[in-house]
Amino acid sequence: MNYLRTAILLAGLTALFMGVGYLIGGEGGAMIAFLVAAGMNLFSYWNADRLVLSMHDAHEVDERTAPDLVRIVGELASRAGLPMPRVYLMDNPQPNAFATGRNPEHSAVAVTTGLLQHLSREETAGVIAHELAHIKNRDTLIMTITATIAGAISMLAQFGMFFGGHRDNNNGGAGLIGTLAMVILAPIAAMLVQMAISRTREYSADETGAQIAGRPEWLASALAKLENAAHAIPNERAERNPAAAHLFIVNPLSGQRMDNLFSTHPATENRIAALQELARRMGQGWSDGAPARQTPSRGPWGRRPAGGPWG
């Protein structure tokens, strides 16, 4: 089913790409846009994950450079029945994370330094489990390709500002008006596509991730902290690349621009409420109000290590 959704998404984004090309250069521009989109689709399938990781300046870590983080990822991946993904760290003060890759065998999990500084070990495990759920549900291919092509549509639309439309279509400035309309509408349309494919997927990843970790309140507590921090701590790289915002576990954008009108994430309070209901179904207690921070001596990954970012 995800492969069908990916094909439909690619067709829709390619059509948008061609529409912008047509308004910039007529039929020739549409054909060039089609060829560029076809090449981009092929490139995105094989390389979009590396492009997105590079976009956010993520560097790979291992058991020597980030032993606690890698250990948690490995043990939760084992619980999820997944191969060990590559682990990346982003030097960014905003606590956040995302997963990428075309399939579980070629996947990666990336977290920010801010996440390790703001969350407890259990909350971090909840976030990692959510990202592994995206990998398990095979969401990462469609998420990563969308980030690449939607970003390209936005850039192509911006180029239209410098051309004023196809001269053959310019009747008293009508071509220019059409071009300006596409400059405005194409990024919005791409973001609407992102929004449509992202919201239900986040709920699904929350549920699957909570089941992988075994404690829904860990993820719920993490989401509450991440949402608050996302508004207080800017993510400059995400602001420069808003087309990739849907990759993150919470919206990394500040909301000061129009991007916030087309949020790709469900409301955090609704996600927490869904996790609360899941905890009840799993027969686990839940304190009223904000999720309680859980700090057991043992978790699904084994004994808490001495030291490290989780203390």
- Catalytic residue positions? 131
Distance CA 84, CA 59 (A): 17
Give the helix/strand (H/E) hosting 60: strand 58-61
Question: Parallel, antiparallel, or unpaired for β 97-103 and 106-112?
Answer: antiparallel
Residues 6+ apart with CB under 8 A from 127: 97, 111, 115, 119, 219, 222, 226, 249
Q: What is the DSSP letter of 249?
A: S
Question: Phi-psi region for residue 165, left (φ > 0), alpha (ψ -120 to 50) or beta?
Answer: left
Secondary structure of residue 24 in the 3-state scheme: helix
Rounded CA-CA distance 17/197 in Å is: 18
| Burial (CB count <10 Å: 0-12, 13-18, 19+), residue 174 | exposed
Residue with tokens 């991946």: 77
Helix and strand numbers (H, E) in the chain are: 9, 6
Q: How far apart are CA 311 and CA 290, in angstroms?
A: 22
> DSSP characters for 39-56?
HHHHHHHHHHHHHHHHHT
